[in-house]
Chain A
Amino acid sequence: NAGVMQNPRHLVRRRGQEARLRCSPMKGHSHVYWYRQLPEEGLKFMVYLQKENIIDESGMPKERFSAEFPKEGPSILRIQQVVRGDSAAYFCASSPQNLQDTEAFFGQGTRLTVV
C-alpha cells in the first residue's frame, strides 16, 4: 500500500513561470491537505480538498495560487508566475475521513526553487 506520493520531488522554475505540484493520496483517502514550509519555518496550512471540492482555502494566497482535486487523478497545486518568495517545500497530506479524531499522512514533499 503506497503512501502519499508527491511529484516532482524537486522543481526548479525561473521567475514568471508556472509550477505544478502533484499529490496522489493514499489508497482509500479522499481528503487532501496542502502545506507550505519556508526555510527555518513551520508548516503553514494552505488548502483542504475533497474529491472535486475545495473545502477550506483560508491559507491560500489570494493571487497566483490555485488547487484542485479532480474525480480522477492526483490533486494539483498550481502556482502561476512564480516569484523567489515561492521557494519552499510543499507538503501534501491525506486522510480517509474528516480529521476530527485521526491523523494525516504526509508525502515526501516537493521542493520548489525559483531562480
Chain B
Amino acid sequence: RKEVEQDPGPFNVPEGATVAFNCTYSNSASQSFFWYRQDCRKEPKLLMSVYSSGNEDGRFTAQLNRASQYISLLIRDSKLSDSATYLCVVNSPGGSYIPTFGRGTSLIVHP
C-alpha cells in the first residue's frame, strides 16, 4: 500500500463547478498535512495547510479525518486558473519528518 494515495483524475469540470479531491494516508502517526498545487513543469507551491478542525481559504476548504486517515480538498466556483495538479502532502515521522507526496490529482477547468 502506498503511503499517500490520490485519484490521479483528470477531473474535467466547467467553470463555476464545485469539485472535491480526496487523499488517504497509511501512517497513523503522521502529524501535519498540506495541499500543494503544481502547474505544468513547475515547482509545487503550498495551497493550504490542513487542520483537524477543517479550514477554509476563500473558495478552498480542506478537511482532515484522522480516524479514517483521509484528507479532502473542496474547490467552489472553479476558475480556469484553477487548472493544475493538486498534491496531497503528509509529513510522516520515520526518525525525522519527511514530506511524502501523493501522485497528484489533475484538474482541468473548461469554459
Whether both chains belong to one complex is answered with yes
Q: Which residues of A pack against B, CB within 8 Å?
A: 33, 35, 41-45, 48, 55-56, 58, 89, 91, 93, 98-109, 111
How far is it, in angstroms, between the C-alpha of A93 and the C-alpha of B99 when the chains are bound? 10
Does B87 contact A33, Cβ atoms closer than 8 Å? no
Q: Which listed residue, B42, B87, B97, touches A99 by the CB 8 Å rule?
A: B97
How far is it, in angstroms, between the C-alpha of A56 and the C-alpha of B98 when the chains are bound? 9
Does B49 contact A103, Cβ atoms closer than 8 Å? yes
How far is it, in angstroms, between the C-alpha of A58 and the C-alpha of B32 when the chains are bound? 20
How far is it, in angstroms, between the C-alpha of A42 and the C-alpha of B95 when the chains are bound? 23
Does B103 contact A41, Cβ atoms closer than 8 Å? yes
Chain B's interface: helix, strand, loop or mixed, by majority? strand
Does B96 contact A56, Cβ atoms closer than 8 Å? yes
Knowing that A33-B99, A103-B34, A109-B42 touch, tell me 8 more A-B residue pairs with CB under 8 angstroms.
A35-B101, A48-B96, A55-B95, A99-B91, A100-B91, A103-B32, A103-B89, A106-B44
Does B41 contact A101, Cβ atoms closer than 8 Å? no
> Which residue, of A33, A99, A101, A108, has the highest number of chain B Cβ atoms within 10 A?
A99
Can you spell out 9 A-B residue pairs with CB atoms less than 8 angstroms apart? A33-B99, A42-B103, A45-B101, A55-B96, A99-B97, A105-B46, A106-B43, A108-B43, A109-B42
Enumerate B56-103 residues with CB–CB distance to A below 8 Å.
87, 89, 91, 93-103
How far is it, in angstroms, between the C-alpha of A111 and the C-alpha of B89 when the chains are bound? 22
How far is it, in angstroms, between the C-alpha of A98 and the C-alpha of B91 when the chains are bound? 10
Does B97 contact A100, Cβ atoms closer than 8 Å? yes
Residues of B within 8 A of A35 (CB): 101
